[in-house]
Structures are given as structure tokens and as C-alpha cells.
Structure 1
Amino acid sequence: MWTYDLEADVTAAQAARALGISRQVVAMWKANGKIKPVRRKGRSPLYRFGDVIDANADALSSGHSHRSPRPVAA
């Protein structure tokens, strides 16, 4: 079983990949104040993974799914 460390610091790209959303969604949540960077790694802000999961859960519960479209098998 795959587990995630909710306390881990992750980049927007890492969080997006794990949740199946785009980096732009993570950036939008930052701009809207839903998540805040906890520190930086070089030029990249790092977010607490649990905060990103919470923001995603809020978006899903409010009907604002930001999941990337999956290709449909022919």
C-alpha cells in the first residue's frame, strides 16, 4: 500500500503529480490563500503536503474538481 507523508514539504509539481491535478491549480490555491509555502528550495516554494491535500478535498467537496482529464480508451 502506498502512503504519503502529510508533513512532507513538496513542490507544486510533486503535489500536482501525486493528486492528478495541474501545477497551475496549486499556484491558484496559493494565490487565493488556500495554501501557503512553508519554505523554499532554490526558487521553488515548498508546501506541506497535508495542506495541499486539504485544499484539494475542499475543492472536490465544493464541486470544483481540478483533476486532469483522463484519456478514454477506444
Structure 2
Amino acid sequence: MSGPGNKVIDVAFKASKNIDWEGMAKLLVSDEARKEFATLRRTFDEVNSTLQTKFSQEPEPIDWEYYRKGIGSHLVD
């Protein structure tokens, strides 16, 4: 697959590699901040995983015959 989907995957992958989660976690002083930070990291990982799953799949082929019958071949072709 190529195009915008690959760009999204690349950006998400690079972002996950460039984030120093452990370094940031060391800067947190309160338990509440640690909880919020854990939630942020978990959410980031879930979104990153969803993006990689969604954009790594090939799109379904377009059924051109369906559109030719519905709106006419002069608009489809």
C-alpha cells in the first residue's frame, strides 16, 4: 500500500520511537500525575496500534459496474 496511509503509519511509528516515556515518567512527582501519565501512554499506544492496523490493510476494490449502473458510464469512465 502506498500514499497517505503509509505516511500515517510512518509518522505514528516515528513518534512512538522518539518519545522518551521513561525520561518523562521520572520527572513526575505526584501520584495523580503518574496516573494521568499512564493513561496518556496507554491511550497513545492504543491509537498507534489502531492506526497501524487500519492503514496497513489494502482497501477493498471499487465495484465500478455498480456505479456504471447507478449513475451511468459517462460519469464513471
TM-score range, shorter chain: under 0.3
Q: Which has the higher helix share?
A: 2
Q: Which protein is richer in strand relative to its size?
A: 1
Structure number with the bigger relative contact order (C-alpha 8 A, sep ≥ 6) is 2
Larger radius of gyration: 2
